[in-house]
Amino acid sequence: MRAKINRFSAYLILLFVAAYYVNYFVKLPALNGFMSFLALLFLLICLPRLPGKSLLFMLVILFLSFSVSYFNSSPTILWDGLRQLESIIPIIVVSPVIGFVFAYRKHFASLLILTEKWITKKWKYFFGITILSHLICSLMVQSGIITVYQLINSGTEQKGLHAPKEFQSTAIIRGYTLMMLWSVFSPGFAYASQNLGVNFVEMIMLGIGLALIGIVISVLIYYFKNRDEANQQIQPDEKDDSQRLPLREHRKRAAELVVLFALLILLIVIFVEVFAFPILTAVPIVVLFTVVLYFGVFSDIPFFIRNLMSFVRNQLSGKYKELTLLFVMGVFITALEDSGLAKRWFELFLSFVGTYHLNVYIFLVLMVIFIGAIGFPPIPLLVIIANIISTIPIGKSPELFMPSLLIGTTISLMLSPVTVPLMIMSNLNGLSMLRNGFVWNYMFGIVFLLVSIAYILLLEMLL
């Protein structure tokens, strides 16, 4: 019975994504109601499946949404609220499909093998895992966390390494959260760049620069906090079966990965800049096209079809917590925006900053971190603020608002009590979200915040 419910919820989401694209190209008003119906049906099926605390949180948010709408607007507006985050759903559903390519040729395993002679100490291994997490998650988003975790556990077993849970968790979580600063496959980055009307290519370059600084900070903190462990020698494993492949083949796979990544970015730029597609709409199309093209070149479309069917049956239904959160928060965001409460709240924030002559960009970072720390999901908060900034004249540069939003979201994702990446990591290593998040990352969060503030001030002088 559970399997049938899982499959049905997956089909509902696929129908929702299909209706979204049909509506984008054809503009059929009737599809709006159909999509709201699909979202409502999905909530009715998936809400009872949530754990107790998550269910309570969702019900409180829905109650607040109805209360705000009842006293300030009309509760019927919440029907449209089920589609508030409709453009984010496809990117979450489709992005993991790129993982089929990595499963087919094991590109990242080849990268590890090529760097094996360089990774002679534990701190270098930590650096390599952080970079690996950053790259994989920049393409696969949350699904990349599971991929990296499985990959490094396989690697540590083969090498006979003891990789403590803190080592694994901090490397993966920091690598994941830092990709929020620039990855077009990240819903937060894509939504902010689309709604704020900034040049997303420039934002990618700025984000990559700050992400690299963050990775260096992460490695330095690990090194000085665990100096004896960090300097432990690592011996290459001569018995690794994958070494049976010629070194030339590993280099070929690494080159394939570079070409694939460059092709994805190039196609997204063409779709957005030349064909004027919204970035959130373009990314899933580009991912599907590139993956089908890849398997077409290797003449193995059946592999793609088998993995796609398996993904729909087994993995897509596993995203019900994340998708339920998005639909519920969409209703809440609509209630806040339609009632004018969100706009008034942000105007109060701007008034406070202006009265005391504070830096609006820095205090926006601090506000996002604070609201995330009290339990509000970071991505929906980013959506609310991006929507407000795009609709009211603020007289400030959106090119600076966007990095501020993303920096606050990045730090919030690793330090807040409940976030999707921490939820995934806790399921993998059996530890609490508090330990995987705040306890192991608060020092990195503080140092990265101070460096980010300096980065924002530098951008303010240059832009």
Same domain, 381 and 239: no
Instruction: Specify whether 271 is located in the same domain as 328.
Output: no
Residues 240 and 385 placed together within one structural domain of the fold? no
| In-domain check, residue 93 | no
Contact indicator for 95, 185 with CB cutoff of 8 Å: yes
| Per-residue pLDDT at 32 | 92
Alpha helices, DSSP H only, in 340-439?
A: 341-355, 360-373, 378-391, 398-415, 420-429, 433-434
**pLDDT at 242 (0 to 100):** 47
> Tokens 């990265």 map to which residue?
448
How high is the pLDDT of residue 5?
Answer: 83
Residue 388 lies in a domain: yes
Asked if residue 104 and residue 79 are part of one domain, the reply reads no
CB 202, CB 399: distance < 8 Å: yes
Question: What is the spatial distance between Cα 332 and Cα 407, in angstroms, rounded to a whole number?
Answer: 23
Domain of residue 155, residue span: 98-192+200-317
- Residue 120 is assigned to a structural domain of this protein: yes
Based on the fold, state whether residues 247 and 110 are members of the same structural domain: yes
* Assessment of whether the complete model's pTM goes beyond 0.85: yes
Question: How far is the C-alpha of 273 from the C-alpha of 113, rounded, in Å?
Answer: 37
87: number of Cβ within 10 Å? 20
Residues 6+ apart with CB under 8 A from 439: none
Q: Is residue 296 part of a domain?
A: yes
In a domain, 306, yes or no: yes
Q: How far is CA 322 from the centre of its chain?
A: 11
| The pLDDT of residue 412 | 94
pLDDT at site 160: 45
User: Cβ(13)–Cβ(323) under 8 Å?
Assistant: yes
- With respect to residue 206, please indicate whether it lies within any of the assigned structural domains: yes
Tens-digit pLDDT string for the chain (463 aa): 777 888 899 999 999 999 999 999 998 888 999 999 999 999 999 999 888 888 898 999 999 988 888 777 666 778 889 999 999 999 999 988 998 998 888 888 888 888 877 888 889 989 999 999 999 999 988 889 998 998 888 755 445 455 688 899 999 999 999 999 999 999 999 999 998 888 888 999 999 999 999 999 999 999 998 888 888 887 655 555 544 678 888 889 889 999 999 999 999 999 998 999 999 999 999 999 999 999 998 888 999 999 999 898 888 888 888 899 999 999 999 988 888 888 888 889 888 998 988 899 999 999 999 998 888 888 888 988 888 887 776 667 788 899 999 999 999 999 988 888 998 999 899 999 999 999 999 999 999 999 999 999 999 888 7
Q: Which two tokens stand for residue 321?
A: 């917590």
Would you state the pLDDT for residue 29?
A: 87
Domain end: 279, 294, 317, which one? Answer: 317
pLDDT of residue 78: 82
Number of structural domains found in the chain: 2
Choose the final residue of a domain: 283, 317, 351.
317
Query: Are 38 and 109 within one domain?
Result: no
Residue 326: enclosing H or E segment and its boundaries?
A: helix 320-339
Residue 449: enclosing H or E segment and its boundaries?
A: helix 440-462
How far CA 457 is from CA of 113, 400, 412, 463, in Å, comes to 40, 10, 20, 10
Q: Pick from 290, 317, 344: which residue ends a domain? A: 317
372 CB burial (10 A radius; 0-12, 13-18, 19+):
buried
Whether residue 159 sits in one domain with residue 110:
yes
Q: Say yes or no: 307 and 345 in one domain.
A: no
Whether 105 and 72 share a structural domain: no
- Confidence at residue 162, expressed as pLDDT on a 0 to 100 scale: 58
Residue 357 domain flag: yes
Same domain, 306 and 358: no
Residue 122 shares a structural domain with residue 249 = yes
454 assigned to some structural domain: yes
Q: How far is CA 170 from CA 73, 135, 441, 445, in A?
A: 44, 15, 7, 11
Verify that 358 and 412 share a domain, yes or no.
Answer: yes
